[in-house]
Amino acid sequence: MTKHLKEVERLRKIVEAFPKVTITVLGDLVADEFVYGEISRVSREAPVLILKHRERSVVPGGGANAVNNLADLGVNVLPVGAVGDDEAGRLLMKCFRHKRIPVSGVLKDKSYTTVTKTRILAGMTHNTRQQVVRVDREPESAPNRHLTRELFLAAREYVRASDALLVSDYGYGSASPAIVNALRQPGRRRVVMVPMVLDSRYRMLEYTGVTAATPNEAEVEAALGVRIGEDWKKVSLAGKVVMERMQLQSLLITRGRDGMVAFERGREPLDLPIFGSDEIADVTGAGDTVIAAFTAALAAGASTEEAAQLANYAGGIVVMKRGTATVSRDELLRALEKAPPATRVH
């Protein structure tokens, strides 16, 4: 058996083990709303287009999209987060229940507003729709002290029954450094710690005790105050700095069309070219797919390189889909049949 065949077979076994894995997701649950319209005419009131409404859909976004991706990968997923007593929150809960995802860790609070990102897309009949504007509805403040305490308790309870913890922090407070760091603190009811994988939009360096992180290149640049660009030496150095400052075991930096770079303690970084075409259709929610596949693989016993390769396949598949999308276990297995895992040499 050749090296590539052995690698593919190993990756296949990891993916086939996903249904045996349980992962807790502590995250900011977001409702991604898509409103589609046909260009009708120019308004007489202002120099803007009038769109004739055609359809509307609401799908899980943010941390909820990570939950959705894990479910479609066949993983047993336990979401922990907050929603408001509003339509968006009810639609998220409905989606979870439809996929038989337990919702006891999803806390509904009347004082909280479900984060909703509404994308208006316009186009002529049978043409590709173009996003015109995005409207974000956000809570006026982070979850209150009582809700934060309940999120911590739910996460602590679920982690005891899990193989990994995925943290999806979009900055809305349900997956704050305070909650996550408290899970690592010793005490009479200390949890048995499992791999903890982090995706934090604005504050990844504030977390302690994290096993792995999956930032994109822009987030790394913002955290370190550097500019990476196309320079391999710079991305390599930046990754090593993040690894050292956060005391990580693994780091996966996503770079859009340039693929990903995987870092593992004690090893040289691996440069992974993007799987499939680099003619990307839509990157909405791609980071959620990447961290879902990466975490699932680690929980199933994969090495950093194997987890990164599977995350790369998943990311390459999902960016070819429009809107907030997921990757199924069958799609991942089919991708493994199409092409062996690849790396670039530097």
Report, as residue numbers or ranges, the catalytic residues: 288
Report the distance separating Cα 77 and Cα 72, nearest Å.
10
Looking up tokens 């009708």 gives: 40
Contact predicate 65/31, CB 8 Å: no
Report the distance separating Cα 270 and Cα 261, nearest Å.
5
- Return left, alpha or beta for 157; rule: phi > 0 is left, psi -120 to 50 is alpha, else beta: alpha
Contact predicate 253/220, CB 8 Å: yes
Q: Which two tokens stand for residue 282?
A: 């839509």
Q: What single-letter DSSP state applies at residue 139?
A: -
Q: Which phi and psi (to 5°) does residue 136 adopt?
A: -105, 130
Contact predicate 34/119, CB 8 Å: yes
Q: What single-letter DSSP state applies at residue 262?
A: E
